Amino acid sequence: MSASLNVSELNRELARKINEEARNNPQSPLAGKFVGILSGQVIAVADDLDGVVQCLRQVEADPRESLCLEVGLDYGQVQEIGDAH
């Protein structure tokens, strides 16, 4: 990755690659998992978001340096949360 990329860009680029791989290969070991990325590196993998967030907080107090994603989702589509009524 280019040295000119800032931390947020590094995190987003790694997240994009991980997600693309899992969407192309549903058998990927990260498919359906939550991944925590810090400074362009995978720091945590868990079955739930709380586990990833907890791990990231132990490593880095500043949430602006990290990124969490649910691997395999289509982030180009609108994701509905909760009741639509």
For the segment 46-84, what is each residue's pLDDT rounded down to a tens digit? 999 999 999 999 997 787 889 999 999 888 877 677 765
Is 85 among the domain residues? Answer: no
Query: Angle 21-63-80 (CA atoms, 0-180°, nearest 5)?
Result: 55
Q: Compute the distance between CA of residue 78 and CA of residue 1 in angstroms, rounded to an integer.
A: 29
**Can you read off the two tokens belonging to residue 58?**
């132990």
Strand-pairing partners, residue 37, are: 42, 67
Residue 72: name the closest of 29, 9, 13, 36 by CA.
Answer: 29
Higher pLDDT, 53 or 1: 53
| 4 confidence band (pLDDT: 50, 70, 90) | low
Number of domains observed in the structure of the chain = 1
Is 23 among the domain residues? Answer: yes
- pTM (global) more than 0.85: no
Q: Compute the distance between CA of residue 85 and CA of residue 79 in angstroms, rounded to an integer.
A: 15
Q: How far apart are the first and last CA of the chain?
A: 44
Is 81 among the domain residues? Answer: no
Average confidence (pLDDT) over 19-30: 94
Instruction: Write out the residue range of the structural domain in which residue 65 sits.
Output: 7-70
